[in-house]
Amino acid sequence: MTRPQTARIALNRPLRRLFDYAIPPSVEVRPGQRVQVPFGRQSLTGLVVETGVEPPPGITLKTLSEPLETWSALPESTFRLLTWASDYYQHPLGECLFTALPPALRRGRPAQTKAEQHWRAVESEAALPGNAHRQKALLETIVAAPGITSSSLVGAGFTRAQIRSLENRGAIIQTEPPSDRAAPDSGLPAPKLSPAQQEAADQLPGSTRTFCASLLYGVTGSGKTELYLDYLKQHLGQDEQALVLVPEINLTPQTLARFRRYFGNRIVVWHSALNDGERLATWLKVRHGEPVILIGTRSAVLLPFTGLRTIIVDEEHDSSYKQGEGFRYSGRDVAVYRAHLNQCPIILGSATPSLESWHNAHQGKYRLITLGERAGKARPPELALLDIRSRPLQAGLCKPALDAIHQTLARGEQALVFVNRRGFAPVMMCFDCGHIAECPHCDTRLTYHRRDRAMRCHHCDYQQAAQQTCPKCSSENYQPVGQGTERTEETLTEAFPETPVVRVDRDSTQRRGSIQSILDQVNTGQPCVLVGTQMLAKGHDFPNVTLVVVVNADGGLFSVDFRAPEQMIQTLLQVSGRAGRGDKPGRVLIQTCHSDHPLLHALCRGDYRSIADQLLTERESGQLPPFRSMAILRAEADSMQASLQLLDSLKPLAQATGIDVWGPLPAVIARKANRHRAQLVLCSNSRGQLNQSLTRLCQHLDQSRLPPGSKWIVDVDPQET
């Protein structure tokens, strides 16, 4: 009797193992193909990892189904990338592989899409009411990309209702899908570069067939996006694919419109707001090798490209490239590895490069290309510190700052006020007994949200109605302390009753498309005050913003997290970069209680280069990344003792592998949603040694019986420590 052919299958389960199945006679399967397999009483979708494996003797294997399609859902190059990532990040292979499939295919649905609606404009300048900004933007998008699908438009932040409404006005009609599978680009020549931009462009690699990593260090507003466009125009072949990674918030219609202008229908998008159908449609284009230029957030780097010839990572320092849960990969780092595997160029762009990339440039691993001046007529903003020690403040703003806002508005310009916390105030405090409201489930304080008079925990879902009096001593002297976006918004609305005050934070932008209508309002150029968090710091181009006020710069100066100073400087320079991007000069006022701090002085000189060098020197003397490789093993349990015990038992094992181990120590927020969290920090001079050590530890943990309620995770190259 001949033994059946066998296949090793990966399942979408958090298990560090694969499963063997028999292949039915006369069926052929290849690695990367989807199959259905019996698993317990269920039928699961699996991915073939290898065939022809020798099953353990004496075991009767269950049989898998015919492949769900004739082709491999994961082509070899993507498969290799994910196998590497699974090993590097110590995450189960099955879950890594499934991350590269759209949700519909993970669930075993057919790899087909419903017929799509394609649109073209009837006339490019239809008469639309003056206030129909979104519809005008929609029409412009369709004019730039005739044949564009409803999904792509929705992906770009428009709504189906807006599309219908334009159709009803007769401004657009449905059209045939472009007959040729290869979507041609718009045919518009590359943008005209300034001499400085041209000089930078000349240093980028000429060939899309060899690996080359370039770090494009270009100050805010220097025209990095223009350079990306030019690069793709000059170098990407008509049948080749490109990937442009952007942080979530940067994927604005403004950015997309710039790409669509030059590449029309070749532009497709990938981000968290797409629905399952939109994801599947885009995934299929990528998988079938259509010559797309895909603009997407983090997970786009895992898509099954088959003709990828250029990767661009915009704002490469952005912390949103690192996935914070589950498969904790860094989209930027995976992108660099992908370019290497694929032998194609990668361009990492930023005005404030990460210290990792800066270090790689110093070491000659990346080619450093500098764009030192702003494009067009824009000049660098002027930065100044405002020491607020013992100055009277009005909701956190000192008089010179308020005066500056007043003058800006009087000139018909816009001001931006940066606050690093959403909500009304960080805490409610009793001025009699000192009581501060805390989350009952976390070791954190509750944030007061004035709008709905609620106290919320920003680390779990807990909320409660705000109390009028101190819950401890019943004093009526129970008041909000500190600054949140809502409170600043309120103060500014009172101070400037004639002027719109627009708040931009996670609370005000939850609805799909709401950030767009906010940005549209700002882009009219009418005087207004923008108040917002991080969200406002990134990538936006508001030509009429000429003043930026930073309410408090001190958060990152004295944090326990070794990355805090880097992140603080990056955020402050990025937010400063929103000032004076048009023809008018920009000014930045930074409120601080530490106006003599050397880091803030360097910041005011706007000299990121010397700041980065300085911070790198500190990292080196502290033996920290990027000079050493680091991973964190986190444990959580129902008690701190249980978490610490679990890690204590691992410490000798970790040390025996020759790496350095610190801890275990309680995490910075030791209790979150009633889980007690502790961590062990693992470091080594050798990436390989750290990886081997982690593999040993994970194997050991997999085979150990953990106390009930305990959990562990590994975080390689952690962003938060």
- Annotated binding residues for Zn(2+): 430, 433, 439, 442, 457, 460, 470, 473
User: Which distant-in-sequence residues (6+ apart) come within 8 Å of 598 by Cβ?
Assistant: none
Number of residues located near Zn ion, criterion CB under 5 A: 15
Minimum CB separation from ligand ADP for residue 228, in Å? 8
The count of C-alpha atoms lying within 13 angstroms of the C-alpha of 245, restricted to the half-sphere facing its C-beta, is 32
Measured CA distances, 51 to 59, 304, 684 (Å): 17, 21, 37
Cβ closest to ligand ADP, residue 198 vs residue 655: 198
Cβ closest to ligand ADP, residue 192 vs residue 511: 192
Phi first, then psi: give them for residue 508, nearest 5 degrees. -85, -5
Minimum CB separation from ligand ADP for residue 130, in Å? 24
Minimum CB separation from ligand ADP for residue 679, in Å? 37
Which of the listed partners (ligand ADP, Zn ion, none) does 480 bind, with a CB threshold of 5 to 8 Å by partner kind?
A: none
Cβ closest to Zn ion, residue 384 vs residue 433: 433
Which of the listed partners (ligand ADP, Zn ion, none) does 149 bind, with a CB threshold of 5 to 8 Å by partner kind?
A: none
Minimum CB separation from ligand ADP for residue 204, in Å? 15
Which of the listed partners (Zn ion, ligand ADP, none) does 514 bind, with a CB threshold of 5 to 8 Å by partner kind?
A: none
Query: How many Cβ atoms are within 10 Å of 666's Cβ, its own excluded?
Result: 16
- Would you say 319 and 355 are in contact if contact means Cβ atoms under 8 Å apart? no
Within 431-490, which residues bind Zn ion (CB under 5 A)? Answer: 432-433, 435, 439, 441-442, 457, 459-460, 462, 470, 472-473, 475
User: Which distant-in-sequence residues (6+ apart) come within 8 Å of 115 by Cβ?
Assistant: none
List the one residue from 113, 197, 508, 629 that touches ligand ADP (CB under 6 A): 197
Sheet holding 34-39, edge to edge: 19-22, 6-11, 42-51, 34-39
Which of the listed partners (ligand ADP, Zn ion, none) does 422 bind, with a CB threshold of 5 to 8 Å by partner kind?
A: none
Asked if 420 touches ligand ADP (CB under 6 A), the answer is: no
Cβ closest to ligand ADP, residue 18 vs residue 193: 193
List the one residue from 32, 94, 155, 223 that touches ligand ADP (CB under 6 A): 223
177: nearest Cα among 145, 155, 154: 145
How far is the C-alpha of 586 from the C-alpha of 81, rounded, in Å?
A: 44
Per-residue tokens: 72: 């491999």
156: nearest Cα among 10, 232, 254, 37: 254
SS3 223: coil
List the one residue from 34, 136, 224, 235 that touches ligand ADP (CB under 6 A): 224
Minimum CB separation from ligand ADP for residue 374, in Å? 7
Minimum CB separation from ligand ADP for residue 405, in Å? 24
Within 225-264, which residues bind ligand ADP (CB under 6 A)? Answer: 225-226
List the one residue from 99, 149, 208, 220 that touches ligand ADP (CB under 6 A): 220
Asked if 218 touches ligand ADP (CB under 6 A), the answer is: yes
Within 355-394, which residues bind ligand ADP (CB under 6 A)? Answer: 375-376
| Backbone CA torsion sign across 388, 394, 399, 405 | positive
- Would you say 502 and 521 are in contact if contact means Cβ atoms under 8 Å apart? yes
SS3 595: coil
- Would you say 634 and 679 are in contact if contact means Cβ atoms under 8 Å apart? yes
List the one residue from 65, 99, 222, 352 that touches ligand ADP (CB under 6 A): 222
Within 558-587, which residues bind ligand ADP (CB under 6 A)? Answer: 581
Which of the listed partners (Zn ion, ligand ADP, none) does 226 bind, with a CB threshold of 5 to 8 Å by partner kind?
A: ligand ADP
Cβ closest to Zn ion, residue 218 vs residue 426: 426
How far is the C-alpha of 525 from the C-alpha of 523, rounded, in Å?
A: 5
Q: How far out from the chain centre does Cα 597 lie?
A: 30
How far is the C-alpha of 371 from the C-alpha of 477, rounded, in Å?
A: 54
CA angle 73, 76, 81 (to 5 degrees): 100
How far is the C-alpha of 56 from the C-alpha of 58, rounded, in Å?
A: 7
Specify the pairing of strand 454-456 against strand 463-465: antiparallel
Asked if 541 touches ligand ADP (CB under 6 A), the answer is: yes
Which of the listed partners (ligand ADP, Zn ion, none) does 376 bind, with a CB threshold of 5 to 8 Å by partner kind?
A: ligand ADP
Minimum CB separation from ligand ADP for residue 360, in Å? 20
The residue length of the chain stands at 721
DSSP state of 557: T
Binding site for ligand ADP (CB under 6 A): 192-194, 197, 218, 220-226, 375-376, 541, 581
Binding site for Zn ion (CB under 5 A): 430, 432-433, 435, 439, 441-442, 457, 459-460, 462, 470, 472-473, 475
